Amino acid sequence: MSKPFTCIKGNFDATLTCLDGRNMIYRDMSEWTEGPLYATPDSYKVGITPPGRSISIQVDVSTSGPTSISNKDLGINATNLLDGVYTISVYNCGTTYTRSKAVLGNIQCRVQKYISTLNHSDYAGFKKAAHIEWLIKSSMINSELNKSKLAQDFYKAALREIDKLNCDCKC
């Protein structure tokens, strides 16, 4: 008997979640074709392009559970993962699928550290933090909608705002 086909059924999707500064979790959310000639693979290769890079790194990911991906797996020599919009692509059964995902763990950590420095009555400080969190959330939403340029613009705006704060909020 021949090997079954492993085809995405037109809906390629995944989540990328920052686990800590050095690792993220990839979860496959794709819809796989079912039937007597088809099977869902245990794993498959995706290309992940980190922000600001032009080269895609091939990574084996699981279809049934989380896959941990480190900054080293992606060829990132920095201490932490790079914040920004990551591009995920896969060629499967004659179709190339591409998704954008914002991974913003470092800036989210910086906002949390800023909030932890505030006095409970510092309304102006909390208002600044809420604005930065809104910019971060806007970046993530736009990346989910595959609006990479807009997602990057919101991220850069959030970065500018947190850099203006008088805070030792490095992560």
Q: Which of 54, 76, 103 is the last residue of a domain?
A: 103
User: Is residue 25 included in any domain, yes or no?
Assistant: yes
pLDDT band at 170 (very low <50, low <70, confident <90, very high): confident
Residue 140 is predicted with a pLDDT of 94
Give the pLDDT confidence score for residue 101 in this predicted structure: 93
Same domain as 53, residue 35: yes
Residues 127 and 77 in one domain: no
Give CA separation, 115 vs 28, 31, 167, in Å.
33, 40, 10
Residue in 26, 48, 47, 51 with CA at minimum distance from that of residue 107: 51
Percent above pLDDT 70 for the chain:
98
Q: Decide if 92 contacts 7 (C-beta within 8 A).
A: yes
Last residue of a domain, one of 103, 119, 148: 103
Co-location of 29 and 41 in the same domain:
yes
Hey, what are 110's tokens? 């910086």
Based on the fold, state whether residues 36 and 95 are members of the same structural domain.
Answer: yes
Give which of 63, 51, 59, 56 is closest to 27, Cα–Cα: 63
Residue span of the structural domain in which 90 resides: 8-103
Alpha-carbon span 159 to 7, nearest angstrom = 39
pTM of the full structure: 0.87
As a whole number of Å, the end-to-end CA separation of the chain is 54
* 143 and 128 assigned to the same domain: yes
Residues 26 and 70 in one domain: yes
* Residue 119 is assigned to a structural domain of this protein: yes
With respect to residue 127, please indicate whether it lies within any of the assigned structural domains: yes
- Do 97 and 132 fall into the same domain? no
pLDDT band for 1, please (50, 70, 90 cuts). Answer: very low
Q: How many domains does the chain have?
A: 2
Among the candidates 55, 87, 103, a domain finishes at: 103
pLDDT one-digit tens code per residue, 77-128: 877 888 999 999 999 999 999 999 999 999 999 999 999 999 999 999 999 9
